[in-house]
Structure 1
Amino acid sequence: MRILLEKSKKNKLVVLFVIVFLITVSINLYVTSVNINELEALEVELHSLRTPLKVGDRTTLQVLVYDRGNLAREDVNVEIKLSNQGTARLHEKFTHIENGLYETNIQFFHGGTWDGTVFVKKGNSLFKKNFKLFVER
């Protein structure tokens, strides 16, 4: 009889552990899905203060980040990765200025068409938008 009681206590502990584990996993999945959807409906614009872009010139790139309700997003981190068809690659972080406006300074050492991806991050959420830039020689 005593052996049955000890097994029963162990079984109850195992069941309790499994229930706590399942609740923890469920909460984690819910929070992750809420975070992923948070940046889904963003509008991102990329602008250069100096046009045309020229090799060797230092220029300021600006990114405007706002949601579909035209509300500025000031609570995100913004980065850009650029690459040309050769081996040149650039990676820059933007600084928040005001009202959803972010800026970074950049200098291109190669001309031609550059492929750029702007990354907008908040917590575990990530939004990406691709752009093309042309840099004159």
Structure 2
Amino acid sequence: MGISIDIHCGACGWEEGFRLGTGSAMTRLRNALDLVPEDQRIRILEILDHHPDSAEDFELRLMRCPACGRLFERMQVSLLYGRNDGWQSRYHCDGCGAALDNVSDPEEISTLPCPDCGSAALQVADTSFWD
């Protein structure tokens, strides 16, 4: 079961919702590949087809652009295969192209600047579960 969060800026009123985690339809990575960009999807399928015993870790995560401050919901995928091989999805900002950072703890949200006005007034306005 995943969690939905609505983030709100108390200074400018900016608000956006994000789904995090995995839902019941995402019990296997192959069921969640439509949430991954095509170039990464192709690489993931190559690894899964050649290494059926690979270990998968995947979930929707909140990510932030360190350059412009925008927030994104992205499917983070990590694969371990072979003896010591691994692969991990990487994302870049749709606006400025900088590599995105994971926001690993929801408590961190209140310390982030607003992507719209830059003030440190972000709050989690609402949470709910999704499946």
TM-score after normalising by structure 2: 0.27
TM-score after normalising by structure 1: 0.26
Flag the structure with larger Rg: 1
Structure number with the higher helix fraction is 1
Structure number with the higher strand fraction is 1
